[in-house]
Amino acid sequence: MVTVGIWNEHGVMDEEFLFWDNQIFAQQIGLAWPSVERSTPSGTRLSRSLRSGKRIGQRGEGCRNVPSSLLATRTFLEPPVPTHYLTKDIGAVTYTPAMSDHTPTPLAVTAVDAIEHVSGTYPGQRRVHARGLCFDATFTPSGEAASLTSAAHLGSGPTPVVVRFSNSNTNPTVPDGIRAGRGLAARFFLPDDTTTDLVSVNIPVFFAATPEQFLELLDALEKDPGTGAPSPEKVKAYAAAHPSAAAGLQEAARMPIPVSYGTARYWAIHAFIWVDPDGGRHPVRYHWEPDTGPQELSEQEAGVKDPEYLAEELLRRLADGPVGFSLRVQLGKDGDPTDDPTKAWPADRPEIVAGHLRITAPVTDQGHWAAQVYDPTRITPGIELSDDPVLAFRSQAYAVSYGRRTEGN
Ligand code: HEM
């Protein structure tokens, strides 16, 4: 796949085109001129076709990508007449103004260095959540959120989504049958050709209240050269120094081993702020509830599973029909902390079901999707970031990881 940017004399990209493969690219820059039937996105407002190729970006923006389920046949007739070419797939590191500042700060570089120091480096891979698989899905809102947020995908729909399920490990070959983090990252393709992400894991609270605490934890997790394992004493000392982190550490220690990626609960952890059509602001926290209810394996059952059973199981399950999750949203009250991902809100806070996710099939272009960055600060009008410092920091750390993995490091 190739993206081509057309740059003006001021150094600003005016147009950007997506070509699904090099053959089409060659044809469309003039090395061949046949009228060819190609699969291109259509049928949603995502796709605004120019004379050829697919216009996927606007001035100052970058790549937009489209789920393969939306692919339909279109005829290309003419080559574009661009002024300059940039023949490099730039993935998804393009950020809207609404996003947190993703410029890697020294702290973000230090954090990714520390992750590598503790967990190792696997060239070309995400620094965590390295193993994953992407799926086409559709999100249908329930209508319950419409008076609380003007976000397009939560008001009307359905909205196309690409979901990435992942294991949290840095090493992509760690077998599935262990207690470990699992991720569900979702990218929603909105009617105005923008996207928004929702990134979630299988624990409800985090184990560090700030980026600095996260670094302290990584320090505590450094392997003792004598035992080859992290020192329990250091982790205990971390928990003692940061009592609010204890809940997240306990959740991490008892993470379920899921029967399926499709039978786990996933929490987005941070608070976000919904902004309603009248400008009212509502703190919220999201989680995905599987239609099956949570189902987990015992350690004994998991021990005899294939090392990659989670992907295989989900593909088999999807052959029998879609896999679904409800998007449940907890509504905070005044005084509920929005700046601390280690602290749950009181259990009696009301919850609504904002909509339903229906996962249908693996995307056809796993390589393309593996390159994307799912960024929790990629929000959309109607949703704002909370004052949680970890939330803003993640965007920077993800950009560092993206930079390294796409440079082959
Ligand atoms: C200081 C806090 C954190 C740091 C430094 C951090 C770091 C990272 C990095 C470097 C990546 C790889 C990004 C990429 O190359 O695309 C990543 C991915 C991920 N993180 Fe975090 N993370 C943090 C907190 C969290 C939290 C609180 C959650 C819970 C929602 C989370 C969930 C995920 C998931 C699900 C992925 C995989 C996304 C995908 O499938 O592309 N992370 N994280």
Distance from the CA of 376 to the center of ligand 1, in angstroms? Answer: 9
Q: Is residue 401 within 6 Å of ligand 1 at its C-beta?
A: yes
Low-confidence ranges of the chain (pLDDT < 50): 1-7, 12-14, 16-98
95 vs 195: CA distance, rounded Å: 10
Annotated catalytic sites, by residue? 129
Ligand 1 atom 22 nearest Cα: 394
* pLDDT tens digits along 36-93: 222 323 222 222 222 233 333 322 222 233 333 333 322 222 233 332 222 223 233 3
Nearest CA to ligand 1 atom 27: 206
* CB 164 near ligand 1, within 6 Å: yes
Ligand 1 midpoint to CA 222 (Å) = 19
> Strand pairing of 281-290 and 266-267?
antiparallel
E strand segments, 242-391 = 257-258, 266-267, 272-275, 281-290, 296-297, 323-331, 351-362, 383-385
Among the listed residues 224, 179, 219, the one whose alpha carbon sits nearest the alpha carbon of residue 202 = 179
- Report whether residue 272 contacts ligand 1, using a CB cutoff of 6 Å: no
pLDDT of residue 102: 65
Answer whether 183 contacts ligand 1 (Cβ < 6 A).
Answer: yes
CA of 163 to the centre of ligand 1 (A): 15
Q: Which amino acid is located at 248 in the chain?
A: G
The pLDDT value given to residue 71: 31
Task: Report CA Rg, the chain.
Answer: 22
| CA 28 to ligand 1 center in whole angstroms | 37
Tell me the best of 102, 128, 377 to mutate to test the pocket of ligand 1, counting ligand atoms within 8 Å of each CB and taking the most.
128
Residues 373 and 92 sit within 8 Å (Cβ to Cβ):
yes
**Which residues make Cβ contacts (< 8 Å) with residue 261, sequence separation at least 6?**
165, 182, 184, 310, 311, 313, 314
Task: Give the ligand 1 atom nearest the CA of 402.
Answer: 15
Residue 194 pLDDT: 97
CA distance 218 to 127: 13
pTM of the model: 0.80
Residue 225's pLDDT is: 86
